[in-house]
Amino acid sequence: MASWTPGDDVAAVIARLEHEERELVLPAFTHDDAWRLGCLLVELAEERSLAVTIDIRKGTQQVFHAALEGTTPDNDSWVERKVRTVYRFGASSYLVGRRHAAGGNDFNEATGLPFQEYVAHGGAFPIRVEGVGIVGVATVSGLPQAEDHALVVEGLRALAS
C-alpha cells in the first residue's frame, strides 16, 4: 500500500490522488457490488491482520459495515465524519485534506465545519459511476490516513478489474 509521509511532495501526492479519482469510475454500482467490495476489503484486512472498520454506502444507505477485531466505536465516528466530507466536497477525504495542507490550512478552521461532524483524513473514497457521478462512498478507518486511503483504492481497483 502506498502511503504519504511528511517528506513527500504534497503537489505530487495531490496529482496522484486526483488521478486515482479519474481512474476509478465504475460502469455501475449495485448493492451486490457494495457487498463484493466490502468483502474484498475485509479479506485484504484479515490477510494483513489489520484492525479496521469498513463501511460501504450507496447513496445515504449503509449497505455494508464490518468492524474487525481491535476496532472501537470511535472508528464508526471517524467513518461518519469522513463520509460527510466526501459527500460535501465531492472528493476523497484524503484529497480534501491534502489540498488544505498544501495551502497551509487546517481543514476545519478553513471551512468552519465542526471536527465532530467533518474530517479531512484519508480513508473515504467516492464511488463514481460513468455518466452519473458519485453514487456512494467506500470507507476504511483504523490505520494511518494514507493507509486507510490506499486500502480503499486497492479494493476498488480489484472490484473494477
Instruction: Give the residues across from 125 on adjacent strands.
Output: 138
Which option is the CATH number for 10-160: 3.30.450.150, 1.10.3720.10, 2.40.70.10, 3.40.50.920?
A: 3.30.450.150
pTM of the model: 0.92
Q: What is the pLDDT of residues 102-128, one digit of tens each?
A: 988 899 999 999 999 999 999 999 999
Cα-based distances in Å from 79 to 19, 132, 148: 23, 24, 11
Q: What is the pLDDT of residues 116-161, one digit of tens each?
A: 999 999 999 999 999 999 999 999 999 999 999 999 999 999 999 8
Grid cell 483504492 — which residue? Answer: 153
Cβ-contact 138, 125 below 8 angstroms: yes
Give the three cell numbers for residue 79.
467513518
Give the three cell numbers for residue 95.
484529497
